[in-house]
């Protein structure tokens, strides 16, 4: 373990255990970042860390020799290497930290692992926990009055939802970057005057509502108000990617790249948290779920990720938005170094990589270490709650506070501690 990692870990332990109340509060405040937005990129299917952000010795699927599928390359950070297909990110790694020691015990089931990596907790039979997107939306709200706090660019799913927080902290979603969310577009034949009459009718109905303190009704009304506010031409202009220079759009690449470009535009509009889904199966037929033959065209998926994320980092930096915007890359779990009978890989939750970029963090290229085959953690393990606590701290959210499911207090993370070495 490097000396500075040891010192940072020791600081985090001291904050959580030994300091008196006032001192602990001061120390926690020092671990709060100043990011204003989060762009979370979801790699559905399970990104193999050995083949991307934590390369090891090269293996051979034909001979069943465990190891990485590709060669590795040097980066801007000495000692930190990446897969050869991440060539655009390599020179930008001083703005990035690969957290190589994320781990959980949900291994063999995609849905359960997806839930774990969105809520930070195992599936519960009694509580529907909120996603990290909804937590950020709940705590920080939108960054502008005419923007939603949380947008999902991808297919909706309960794991992305607000859970017990309620509809107000849910997401607005779209699946096609060529147009805005269908629910915000005024139907053909509905003129501005007719739309205004409808709003008047709604206002009259609201006056007839019985007085009371029904939280669900308040959330519903708030959702209607926001929808009406967002249905105008000004917010919908955010989705007009044709306003961007052709050269920049080309640099971002295909559909996934256009999703990342749209995310940047929505950050500028005032959206607080965006999830950009990259589980698009048209490149290799399997997305990141590279069992058997799916691994043979995995390089195309990695190259698309590399092109889009490197351009996003550079684009945000050029607009002086990178320190204000935390980019996060997550996935269900990693992949073991051994190859299966079809040449692909199985699932591994004991050690895998997630990525942080920008957001004003103290970046170092990589944090944490795994063994020579990426199967075991050898330094600085990071639990999923720890990783979520780092995201929360980066955007100025108190990581030790409680949310409430009715009268029941629920810690904002499942006893997670932020990675002190990246904050403060």
What pTM was estimated for this model as a whole?
0.87
Range of weakest confidence among 14-18, 45-49, 102-106: 14-18
- pLDDT of residue 255 exceeding 80, the answer is yes
CA–CA gap between residue 332 and residue 329 (Å, rounded): 11
Q: How much of the chain exceeds pLDDT 70, in percent?
A: 80
Range of weakest confidence among 42-46, 104-108, 296-300, 415-419: 104-108
**How many C-beta atoms lie closer than 10 Å to residue 217's C-beta?**
13
User: Which of residues 370 and 193 earns the better pLDDT score?
Assistant: 370
- pLDDT of residue 14 exceeding 60, the answer is no
pLDDT at 5: 52
| Average pLDDT rounded to a whole number, residues 155-170 | 94
Handedness of CA 238, 244, 246, 251 (dihedral sign): negative
Residue 368 class from Cβ within 10 Å (0-12 exposed, 13-18 middle, 19+ buried)? buried
The pLDDT-based confidence of 178 (bands split at 50, 70, 90) is confident
| Average pLDDT rounded to a whole number, residues 378-407 | 97
DSSP letters, 118-167, are HHSS---SS--PPPHHHHHHHHH--SSTTS-SEEEES---GGGS-GGG-G
Distance (Å) of CA 17 to CA 79, 189, 230:
33, 63, 46
Range of weakest confidence among 25-29, 303-307, 332-336: 25-29
* Whether the Cβ atoms of residue 388 and residue 397 lie closer than 8 Å to each other: no
pLDDT at 236: 81
| Average pLDDT rounded to a whole number, residues 276-290 | 82
CATH of range 3-10+30-181+245-422; options 1.10.3720.10, 3.40.720.10, 3.30.910.20, 3.40.640.10? 3.40.720.10
| Average pLDDT rounded to a whole number, residues 257-286 | 90
pLDDT at 101: 98
Q: How much of the chain exceeds pLDDT 90, in percent?
A: 70
Mean pLDDT of the chain, nearest integer: 88
The pLDDT-based confidence of 293 (bands split at 50, 70, 90) is confident
| Average pLDDT rounded to a whole number, residues 285-295 | 87
């Amino acid at each position: 373990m490097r000396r500075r990692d040891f010192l940072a870990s020791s600081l985090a332990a001291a904050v959580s255990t030994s300091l008196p109340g006032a001192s602990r509060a001061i120390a926690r405040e020092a671990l709060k970042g100043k990011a204003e937005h989060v762009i979370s990129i979801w790699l559905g299917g399970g990104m193999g860390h050995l083949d991307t952000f934590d390369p090891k010795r090269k293996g051979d699927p034909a001979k069943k020799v465990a190891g990485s599928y590709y060669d590795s390359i040097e980066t801007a950070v000495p000692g930190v290497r990446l897969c050869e297909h991440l060539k655009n990110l390599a020179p930008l790694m001083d703005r990035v930290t690969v957290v190589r020691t994320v781990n959980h015990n949900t291994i063999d089931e995609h849905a359960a692992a997806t839930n774990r990596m969105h809520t930070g907790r195992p599936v519960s039979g009694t509580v529907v926990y909120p996603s990290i997107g909804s937590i950020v939306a709940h705590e920080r709200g939108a960054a502008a009055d005419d923007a939603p706090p949380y947008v999902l660019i991808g297919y909706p799913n309960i794991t992305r939802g607000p859970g017990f927080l309620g509809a107000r902290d849910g997401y607005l979603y779209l699946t096609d970057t060529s147009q805005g969310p269908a629910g915000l577009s005024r139907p053909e034949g509905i003129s501005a005057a007719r739309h205004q009459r409808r709003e008047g009718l709604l206002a009259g109905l609201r006056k007839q509502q019985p007085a009371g303190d029904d939280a669900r009704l308040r959330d519903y009304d708030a959702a209607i108000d926001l929808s009406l506010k967002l249905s105008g031409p000004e917010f919908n202009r955010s989705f007009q990617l044709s306003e961007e220079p052709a050269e920049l759009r080309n640099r971002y690449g295909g559909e996934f790249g256009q999703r990342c470009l749209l995310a940047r535009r929505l950050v500028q509009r005032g959206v607080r948290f965006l999830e950009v889904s990259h589980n698009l199966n048209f490149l290799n037929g399997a997305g990141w779920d590279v069992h058997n033959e799916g691994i043979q065209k995995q390089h195309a998926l990695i190259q698309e990720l590399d092109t889009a994320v490197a351009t996003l980092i550079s684009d945000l930096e050029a607009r002086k938005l990178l320190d204000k915007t935390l980019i996060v890359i997550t996935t269900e779990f990693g992949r073991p170094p051994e190859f299966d009978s079809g040449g692909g890989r199985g699932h591994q939750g004991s050690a895998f990589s997630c990525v942080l970029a920008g957001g004003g963090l103290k970046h170092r290229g990589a944090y944490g270490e795994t063994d020579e085959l990426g199967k075991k953690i050898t330094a600085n393990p990071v639990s999923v709650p720890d990783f979520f606590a780092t995201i929360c701290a980066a955007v100025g959210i108190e990581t030790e506070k409680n949310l409430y499911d009715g009268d029941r207090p629920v810690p904002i993370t499942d006893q997670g501690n932020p990675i002190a070495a990246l904050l403060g």
